[in-house]
Amino acid sequence: MYRRKNQRIIISTYNHNDLHFAVGFSENEKIVRISLPKKNLEEAVSEISNYHPKFSISDKYKDTVIEIATMYTGKPVNFNMDLLDMEISAEYEHETSTINTSFERQVILKVAKIQYGNIKTYKDIAKSINTHAYRAVGTAIGKNPFPIVVPCHRVVRSDGAVGGFRGGTEMKIKMLINEGLKLESGRIDIE
């Protein structure tokens, strides 16, 4: 089943330590989008509603949102990855932050396998899918609609610099530190 922009979704939210988390669920109870934590509820909901303008807010999936907030704080969670709607929809080709191509899907699936407390480089991800298109890998990672759960924060540059992140470098560093990774001068020791 392909996602449709006009499909009605349910957004469940959770407030933890003054951060607002929001997750959008389709009619078939799959996650279609996860918002990075925001300082206010409207911003968190907006990050999802920009892609899915027909929505209602409900606590129906609050337990799942709590799990995601727990993951954000650096605690390991055995998250059910089958909840993610990984279907590709050409309807979104003109939009950013959505999986549009099989290449982007391959990248997101590889990133999803990075274990808690570990990192990979953009180059590692590219090699794992038999390409030298490191920048394209970075672009695909930047479109990740499932941040936190698909741990794009665990992908860093080959020189150990953390690299870009939709939520900002400060948030990426915080998430890595929360998982027990050591950074020195904004870099991770790559071995």
CA gap 181, 31 in Å, rounded = 28
Identify the bridge partners of residue 5 per DSSP, sorted by sequence position.
none
Four-residue CA torsion sign, 13, 49, 149, 147? negative
Locate 163 and state its tokens.
């690299």
| Catalytic positions, written as ranges | 152
Residue spans of beta strands (DSSP E) within the chain = 9-16, 19-25, 31-34, 55-57, 120-121, 155-156, 183-184, 187-188
Four-residue CA torsion sign, 168, 188, 34, 63? negative
DSSP label of 115 = P
